[in-house]
Amino acid sequence: MNEFIKEVEHQKIGKIIKNAKIKKYTTYRVGGIAKAIIHPKNIDKLIELVNLIKKYNIKYKVIGNGSNLLFSDKEFDGILIKLDAFDEVNIYGTTIVVGAGYSLVKLSLLAAKHSLAGLEFAAGIPGTIGGAVFMNAGAYRSDMGYIVTKVKVLTPSLEVLELTNKEMDFHYRSSYLQKHKDYICLEATIELYRGRRDALEEVIKDRRKRRMESQPLNYPSAGSVFRNPEGYFAGKLIEDLNLKGKRVGGAEVSKKHANFIINNKNASAQDIKDLIEYVQNKVKEKYDIELKIEQEFVNWE
């Protein structure tokens, strides 16, 4: 690992944070120590970095805002890659071309400012473009699959390719990238349509108010824990079991929204995982419904 880090520094790939506390980079505010977090400056430097990863056989994970991840508390014996520098955004009529590191919330506000409709659903999703494409993030009966026309990716053979919407195979909280995790999202092309700026900003403002009232935004969490099973709402199933307020250690099923698990008081990653699995088991016992976890568990093996 030391030789790998030296080469990364020598090649001036980007900012390096050694022995980084993962909890600073996840919205649950949990996680162990990563050997390093590396911020490549551009695509060329990312390719150099992946070459070095292969040369030294280094474990790695690309992360965005850490808003859909549950890292374990043990050491991550590898590196995390953050694409914060991939934040260029260009608007061509109703088309937006945006880097993977750009904030989805910022983009929804920028679109409204330019009288572009179709991204209002994303105004409360605290992820990056790359993370949103990977997860096919959505809300209010819309998601990235409805608006993304092309995705620029880095393939395992280090080719830069564009995948079409069809090739991305978007489904409910799913995409091609989830099934091919050695592909890295670099950029997305998004197609919107004309709207009225004042009306779009009013929708965003109203939805922000509703989120504040219905979601526990004052506590660390990672948003909705479970996908909605067909014909049901996960939160309603959990609430009907009187599990609001249920705690394991410092983790709690939110009293505001039962499909949120919050870090109420210095929860460990294990506390959160145990509570997720407890809720999942209770719903299975009562309703014979297998709740699918929307979040990704990392470094538990």
Return the axis-axis angle of helices 197-214 and 104-113, rounded to nearest 10°: 150
CATH architecture for segment(s) 89-200: 2-Layer Sandwich (3.30)
The top-level CATH class assigned to 215-298 is alpha beta
Domain covering 2-82, topology: 3.30.43
User: DSSP labels for 135-168?
Assistant: HT-EETTEEHHHHEEEEEEE-TTS-EEEEEHHHH
Pairing verdict, β 184-191 and 148-154? antiparallel
pLDDT of residue 18: 97
Q: Establish whether 224 is a catalytic residue.
A: yes
Per-residue pLDDT of the chain (301 residues; tens, 9 = 90+): 999 999 999 999 999 999 999 999 999 999 999 999 999 999 999 999 999 999 999 999 999 999 999 999 999 999 999 999 999 999 999 999 999 999 999 999 999 999 999 999 999 888 999 999 999 999 888 999 999 999 999 999 999 999 999 999 999 989 999 999 999 999 999 999 999 999 999 999 999 898 889 999 999 999 999 999 999 999 999 999 999 999 999 999 999 999 999 999 999 999 999 999 999 999 999 999 999 999 999 999 8
CB 263 within 8 A of CB 30: yes
120, 173, 174, 254: which is the annotated catalytic residue? 173
pLDDT of residue 149: 98
174, 221, 224, 254: which is the annotated catalytic residue? 224
Nearest alpha carbon to residue 286 among 235, 240, 247: 240
Backbone angles phi, psi at 219, to 5 degrees: -125, 150
- pTM value is 0.93
Which residue ranges make up each domain of the chain? 2-82, 89-200, 215-298
Question: What is residue 173's DSSP assignment?
Answer: T
- Please name every residue paired with 194 in a beta bridge, in sequence order, or none if there are none: 116
CB 273 within 8 A of CB 239: no
CB 133 within 8 A of CB 175: yes
Nearest alpha carbon to residue 136 among 144, 125, 147, 124: 144
pLDDT of residue 212: 87
CB 178 within 8 A of CB 171: no
CB 132 within 8 A of CB 122: yes
CB 192 within 8 A of CB 119: yes
Pairing verdict, β 76-82 and 148-154? unpaired
